[in-house]
């Protein structure tokens, strides 16, 4: 599993490319312009950068040049995407001309990461973090082979498309569990630190809602937020993880029953994000265990690592995550974040 930074100023393209990279079993950082990409690269040190060329503030070519001049990031491979440039540039490790086939993009990702060392925990990392990393790395190989074989089956003329779609969904689920396991181990070991900035929270929430609207068009998702900026000191990438976990739970646990409502409200000292669904709800005896790792779900035998991770990231921001739920009445998850 590698950390891949994807930069593109078109939200739809950014989400598609990010999903492809995640489906391949890697963690993704998203940037919407060159300056944001450079800042994330310096803060998180990804193993690969994928960037569009035509972006505001800093073009893809300029980003390549700045990465090459950075003594820490100079050897990080960069895939440059462009509909304007006819060929690659010396500063980029690889080049794809837009439009391109997803299979070509996946192949280039694999080639670029083939000889790139995967980030490893420090030699003195706590045992729980080392264990999480070992499990994730052990599963990565078999999952990658399974993904490649699934793609071969898709190309077969007599393939059972419904069965292949089901297998693909299960593979994505296993890859997500692998990523969450490693993240949960780092959180349990106290190895996660925030890289906070002072920004308007609303656009970050809006982008996650739009992403889930695209992924689950059959579910009505409504966002209510103040018109004025909601200033807050937070880590954008980590808060996006929290939002993503809450929306994932609302969409999947809601089972398509009714709509999902996302509400952002503010007071003098607090910012609150509520995610309401009209799904099955949770039995009272399960509520106290929702944010505890490795607790089995009564309905499907799965685990709630995503909610545990979201709760821990909220705590690192000085906030908290809570839930109100009743069977057959839906659930409301509330993220509370202090201002100032």
pTM of the model: 0.64
Q: How far is CA 24 from CA 107, 168, 270, in A?
A: 11, 11, 38
From the candidate CATH numbers 1.10.630.10, 1.20.59.10, 3.40.50.2300, 1.10.357.10, the one assigned to the domain spanning 1-119: 3.40.50.2300
Q: Is 101 exposed, middle or buried (0-12, 13-18, 19+ CB in 10 A)?
A: exposed
Residue scoring higher pLDDT (136 or 264): 264
- For residues 21 and 102, the answer to whether their CB atoms sit within 8 Å is no
CA distance 143 to 74: 30
Listed residue (23, 307, 336) closest to 187, CA to CA: 307
Backbone angles phi, psi at 78, to 5 degrees: -125, 125
Q: Say what percent of the chain tops pLDDT 70.
A: 88
pLDDT at 228 over 50: yes
Strand 231-234 to strand 270-277: parallel, antiparallel, or no bridges (unpaired)? unpaired
Q: Say what percent of the chain tops pLDDT 90.
A: 24
6-26: per-residue pLDDT in tens? Answer: 999 888 888 889 888 888 888
Written as one string, the DSSP assignment of 268-300 is SSEEEEEEEE-S----HHHHTTTTSTTPBPTTT
Q: Does 99 sit behind a cis peptide bond, omega within 30 degrees of 0 on the bond before it?
A: yes
Q: Which DSSP letter does residue 264 get? A: E
159-205: per-residue pLDDT in tens? Answer: 788 888 888 777 777 777 777 777 888 788 787 888 889 999 999 99
CATH 3.10.28.10 fits 197-338, yes or no: no
Tell me the domain boundaries of the chain: 1-119, 121-192, 197-338
120-172: per-residue pLDDT in tens? Answer: 555 556 676 676 666 766 776 677 777 777 777 877 888 788 888 888 777 77
| Entry field: residues in the chain | 340
274-290: per-residue pLDDT in tens? Answer: 999 988 888 888 887 88
pLDDT at 298: 46
């Amino acid at each position: 599993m590698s950390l891949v930074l994807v930069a593109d100023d078109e939200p739809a393209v950014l989400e598609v490319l990010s999903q492809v990279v995640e489906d391949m079993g890697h963690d993704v950082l998203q940037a919407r312009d060159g300056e944001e990409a450079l800042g994330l690269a310096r803060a998180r040190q990804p193993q690969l950068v994928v960037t569009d060329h035509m972006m505001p503030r800093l073009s893809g070519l300029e980003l390549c040049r700045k990465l090459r001049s950075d003594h820490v990031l100079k050897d990080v491979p960069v895939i440059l995407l462009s509909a304007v440039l006819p060929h690659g540039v010396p500063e980029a490790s690889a080049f794809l001309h837009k439009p391109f086939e997803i299979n070509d993009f996946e192949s280039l990702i694999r080639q670029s990461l083939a000889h790139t060392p995967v980030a490893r925990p420090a030699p003195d990392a706590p045992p729980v973090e080392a264990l999480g990393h070992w499990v994730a790395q052990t599963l990565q190989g078999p999952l990658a082979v399974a993904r490649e074989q699934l793609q071969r089956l898709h190309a077969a003329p007599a393939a059972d498309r419904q069965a292949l779609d089901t297998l693909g969904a299960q593979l994505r689920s296993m890859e997500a569990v692998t990523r969450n396991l490693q993240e949960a181990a780092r959180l349990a070991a106290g190895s996660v630190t925030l890289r906070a900035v002072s920004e308007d929270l609303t656009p970050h929430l809006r982008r996650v809602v739009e992403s889930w609207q695209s992924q689950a068009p059959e579910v009505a998702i409504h966002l209510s937020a103040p018109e004025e900026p909601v200033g807050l000191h937070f880590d954008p990438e980590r808060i996006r993880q929290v939002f993503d976990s809450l929306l994932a739970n609302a969409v999947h646990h809601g089972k398509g029953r009714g709509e999902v409502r996302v509400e952002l409200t503010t007071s003098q000292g607090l910012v609150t994000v509520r995610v309401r669904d009209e799904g099955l709800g949770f039995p009272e005896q399960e509520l106290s265990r929702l944010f505890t790792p490795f607790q089995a779900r009564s309905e499907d035998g799965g685990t709630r690592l995503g909610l545990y991770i979201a709760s821990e990231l909220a705590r690192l921001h000085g906030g908290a995550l809570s839930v109100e739920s009743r069977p057959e009445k839906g659930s409301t998850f509330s993220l509370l974040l202090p201002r100032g």
